Chains A and B, each alone.
Chain A
Amino acid sequence: MRSFRIILWAMVAIAAVLFGVMFFQQSRGVSSEPVSHAANPAKDFGGAFTLVGADGKPFSSTELAGKPYALFFGFTHCPDVCPTTLARLVRLRQELGGSEPQILFVTVDPKRDGPKEVGTYASLFNAPIVGLTGSPEQIAQVKKQFGIFSQEVNDGAGGYTVDHTASVLLFGKDGAFAGTISPEESDEMARAKLKRITA
């Protein structure tokens, strides 16, 4: 009986030590979390990137220097919001006249969307759209840089759809982030935003 009690107390002691260590680690973890993201959101947002173009060749963001552009993340198996968004951007750009801003479509579904797929998709709208894909790592990296969320979800028919951030990101001639266009915003508002970055 006595040895049993000792063992029980030993277990209590071990549990207390483990609990203390966990608590200590956790509080340390919170304070040692990188602060840079919160302190400099603009600095951490965006930045240079390299993806793969519809021609299968590397596409560097340096090719966008000096020109305003609209960046949209989607996937080619998306029949509704993605074509609706791209069609709207093309239509509004036509209304503004001219060829600016550049419209870029980046896939969040690199498994199914290779260079050929994004190229075909970009050409659906009879207007210049830059279709971009990349390796899963490249896509994950770019998503992180631009704060884009995406997630594969079973579609109930043996395949999958991809939930994703549907906002269009706008960038001015200087490459600086210039706001977003949400799918819920009116055409008038969206057009005004596009006009501002091409001015």
Chain B
Amino acid sequence: MKSELVSLAALLLAACGGPAAAPNIAVRDAWARAVPQAKGSAAVYLTIANTGGTSDRLIGADTPVAAMTMIHETSLAGGVMRMRHAAAGLEVAAAAEIHLKPAGAHIMLMSLKAPLVEGGTIPMTLTFERSGQRNIAVAVTDPLAAGPPAKE
């Protein structure tokens, strides 16, 4: 909650400064469903908002709870689900948001090294082409969740 207030404040301050020729990235609502065992895969979903004047690109993600982390895009065509590594990352246009959500794009955690415990958080570092690294906390929801936990 606190970190979101801080980033909201930062956003407002940045907005006051007027549009600059730079991206202004804020990440929010990062969540993942609980996984009881330190085994298998998991998906992290989140929203990236860019209130800056130029686009940026999410090009990497890392977390200590998984041996490997990759950015994936899911597509559904003709009833067939396909998942692909987003090799070029995900673009976040200026003054736009992208939503990583179920059946869309997600950050895939492969070979979990620790369980994802409901109610807890997992640390993650996102790497942006221009904005550099951002550390975030991913909220772990119950396994039936369809979206991030409701804000208090």
Contact = CB atoms under 8 A, between A and B. Distances in A.
Answer whether A and B are interacting partners: yes
A87 B85 CA distance: 24
Interface in A55-106: 76-81, 83-84, 87-88, 90-91
A21 B57 CA distance: 58
Nearest to B75: A163
Given A76-B40, A156-B87, A184-B76, A84 B103 contact: yes
Interface in A143-199: 149, 153, 155-157, 159, 161, 163-167, 182-184
A125 B34 CA distance: 9
Contact of B39 (A120, A125, A153): A120
Given A83-B33, A184-B76, A157 B82 contact: no
A116 to B, nearest CB: 10
Chain A, interface size category, equals: 20 to 34
Contact of A78 (B41, B68, B84): B41
B42 A164 contact: no
Nearest to A117: B40
Contacts, number: 95
B30 interface: no
A165 B33 CA distance: 23
Contacts of A77: 40-41, 110
A142 to B, nearest CB: 17
A124 B146 contact: no
A80 B144 contact: no
Given A124-B143, A166-B76, A153 B82 contact: yes
A36 interface: no
A25 interface: no
A27 interface: no
Contacts of A153: 82, 84
Contacts of B106: 79-80
A149 B80 contact: yes
A32 interface: no
B37 interface: yes
B146 A84 contact: yes
Contacts of B79: 165-167, 182
8 contacts: A76-B41, A80-B74, A81-B102, A84-B146, A120-B39, A165-B81, A166-B79, A184-B103
Q: Which 9 A-B pairs have the closest CB atoms?
A: A79-B43, A166-B81, A84-B102, A79-B41, A156-B85, A163-B82, A80-B43, A87-B144, A81-B81
Interface of B: 33, 35-37, 39-43, 68, 70, 72, 74, 76, 79-85, 87, 102-103, 106, 108-110, 142-146
